Structures are given as C-alpha cells and as structure tokens.
Chains A and B, each alone.
Chain A
Amino acid sequence: MASSQLVKVLIVDDDNFTRRIYKTMLFRFCFEITEVEDGKNAIQQFVDGNEYDLVLMDKHMPNMDGVEATRTLRGMGIPVKIVAITDDASSKDTFMDAGADKFLLKPLTFSMLTDILKSFNFLN
C-alpha cells in the first residue's frame, strides 16, 4: 500500500470525459485521485517518485499506449495494481502478458469498479 491509509489511484486515459466519470465513481470512496492523458505521463508519475495503489489503464492513447505503459512499469519493478479498461476485447491477452492484474471492457460501471476494489481489498 502507498504510504498513508488513503488509497491512491492513477487514472490513465486520453479521454477527459472518461476520466471525469471514473473520478466521480472513485470520489464515492474518498480515494486520492490523479489523472494523466497517456502512458508516457503515467510512467513519469512513478519516475517522479509518486506512489499509487491502483492504476486504471486505457489502451489506445497517444505517445504511449496502455500495453506499453504496463510493460514499462513492470520492467521498472513497480508492483502497483494495474487494471486495464478498454473497449478492445482482443487486447486482453496482450495486456495480461504485459503484466496487468485485471482486464475490463468499457464502459466501466460502478458495480464493476466496486468488485475490482473489493478483490484488491481496497474497501476495508
């Protein structure tokens, strides 16, 4: 867990609309939320020394897509929980091979998110 009891979430999606919806869902749990627009900025967050408990990772993004970002984070030894959320069902195996912990198809619903958070014990 990141240092402090507050769950820290990084939202990685190039669509500000999608990020807005995820933020509203996550605010229900009083989590600390950061958002970035692509995989490259996601990597930079960790390079800058930031710690997160959970990453919600989109696939198709400019500069660096979600699969590459996931692979890079695992290559850096970052143990954060990564949940791939995309409408590209065919990318599941690629994401899981890159090191994602879970794979979900868009659109994300509140109950899907709650199930994921429970499975990671973030709702205790």
Chain B
Amino acid sequence: MNSQDLQNLQLIQIALERIRNVERPLSVSSVSPFINNSTILSSCGVLCLNPTQESINQEGNTQREKAMDVNMLQRTYSDLLTSLFREGILNQQFTELQQLQDENNPGFVYEVVSLFFEDAGRLINELISNFNQQAVDYKKIDAYVHQLKGSSASIGAEKIRSVCQTFREYYDKNDIQGCYNCIQPLNQEFVTFKSKLEALFTLEQQIVAAGGSIPMMRH
C-alpha cells in the first residue's frame, strides 16, 4: 500500500465515521471536504446526492404530505356535508347559499349561519322562557316560531323548519299540548344543527389553511 492509498484509507475511515454518526444518508456536501472521488464515495455507501437534489426530494415529500392532508380534509368535509343532506338536517336551500359565496363574499355562508345561530338561539330561549311563565302568551310564542321557521327555511335548516311547521299546525288547531311538545324537539334539532355546522366550518378553515379549496356539493 503506497502513501496515497494510506491517505485515501484514512479519509474513508473518517467518512464512515460520519456515516455511522448520522441517521440520514450523507450528501456529497458533508463528505466532500474529505473525499471528492465519487468512486470512493459510492464504495463507502455514501449516497451521492447533490445538495440541490436532496432538498428537492425533501420538498417533494413535504408537498406530497400536504396534498394528502388536504385530500383527507376535503374527503372528510364532503362526507360530513353529504351526511347532513342525507339525514335531512340540510336541504337544497343551503346549496343555494353556498352558490352565493364568491370572491366578493368569501365568508357569506359562515356569516349568515352565524347570524342564524344567534337569532335562533335567542328565539328558542324566549320560547322556553315564555312557556315556563304562569300566563303563557301564545300569540307571542307563535310569532317567535313564525320567525324561526322563516329564517331556518332561508338557510336550509330543514329539520328545524319542519318542527316549526308542526308547531304552527298545532297552534292553528288550538292544540296547546301539541305546541308545548314541539319545544324540546325544536331545541334538540337546533343544538344538533349548530354542532354539525360548527364542525363543518372548522373543516373548511383547516382545508383553507392547508392550501386547499372547499369541495362544492351538488344535490
């Protein structure tokens, strides 16, 4: 073995030491101070990745992971929205609202549904409170339910609208017990509607934050 061979051997030993001490494959940049012969490098098992290629691959992996996250979120969103229509919680009117949302009104659906949460929550509290009075003002209660029926119809909250309709049918027949029996289901439908729509909006925010677009459903 001549002196050059000895020197090369020493360099290889240093390179191998570096390889053992790191988890990832070494790039040329990290061993080139010691060895600049690609034949020797490859014989040491060092992956001959140039820095640019290495960072491109890392970037590609990150982008693929991001795309998978967005796809998963979009699928979850679509599944949730489909289930809301299938269960009768939403109707076609909700799709109408989604179609009104555009670059001039980017948060339109969120805004109107949030308004509905506020209005409907207040109306239902008034209903419950009125029914608990000694002297129940049924005309006032009917007015509240009428308003709730209108707003729920406007946003496609089908189950809420339907319970309001049932209430008004009892009211028209002067069936007070029937009216009273509608209040608890009405509250329950509102609570369900609110929690599901809040979950839907959370998913929307996550999709947008991950760089994706909101899937549009056709019903």
Binding site for B on A (CB under 8 A): 14-18, 20-21, 24-25, 27-28, 60, 87, 106-107, 109-110
With both chains docked as a complex, state the minimum distance between the C-beta of B79 and any C-beta of chain A, in angstroms.
Answer: 26
Query: Taking the complex as formed, is B59 at the interface, i.e. its CB lies under 8 A from any CB of chain A?
Result: no
Proximity bits, B108-124, A CB within 8 Å = 1, else 0: 10011001100100000
Given A17-B115, A20-B115, does the pair A110, B96 have CB atoms closer than 8 Å? Answer: yes
Interchain residue pairs A-B with the least CB separation, the first 7: A17-B151, A107-B153, A107-B154, A109-B96, A17-B115, A107-B93, A24-B100
Which residues of the other chain, A, contact B150 by a CB distance below 8 angstroms? 15, 18, 87, 106
- The number of A-B residue pairs with CB atoms under 8 Å apart is 50
Which residues of the other chain, B, contact A27 by a CB distance below 8 angstroms? 104-105
A25 to B96, CA, bound (A): 10
With both chains docked as a complex, state the minimum distance between the C-beta of A66 and any C-beta of chain B, in angstroms.
Answer: 13
Instruction: Evaluate contact between B153 and A87: CB separation under 8 angstroms.
Output: yes
The prevalent SS among residues of B at the interface is helix
Which residues of the other chain, A, contact B119 by a CB distance below 8 angstroms? 16-17
Which residues of the other chain, B, contact A107 by a CB distance below 8 angstroms? 93, 96, 153-154, 156
With both chains docked as a complex, state the minimum distance between the C-beta of A115 and any C-beta of chain B, in angstroms.
Answer: 14
Contact of B154 among A17, A60, A110 (CB under 8 A): A17
Proximity bits, B141-165, A CB within 8 Å = 1, else 0: 0000011011101111000000000
A15-B151, A18-B154 known, 17 other contacts, Cβ within 8 Å:
A15-B147, A17-B119, A17-B151, A17-B154, A17-B155, A18-B151, A21-B97, A21-B112, A21-B154, A21-B155, A24-B108, A25-B100, A87-B149, A106-B154, A107-B93, A107-B154, A109-B96
Which residues of the other chain, A, contact B93 by a CB distance below 8 angstroms? 107, 109
**Contact residues of B between 152 and 184, Cβ < 8 Å to A:** 153-156
Interface size in chain B (residues, C-beta < 8 A): 22
A27 to B102, CA, bound (A): 11
Which residues of the other chain, B, contact A106 by a CB distance below 8 angstroms? 150, 153-154
A-B contact pairs, 28 of them (CB 8 A): A14-B147, A15-B147, A15-B150, A15-B154, A16-B119, A17-B112, A17-B115, A17-B119, A17-B151, A17-B154, A17-B155, A18-B151, A20-B112, A20-B115, A21-B97, A21-B100, A21-B155, A24-B100, A24-B112, A27-B105, A87-B149, A87-B150, A87-B153, A106-B154, A107-B93, A109-B93, A109-B96, A110-B96
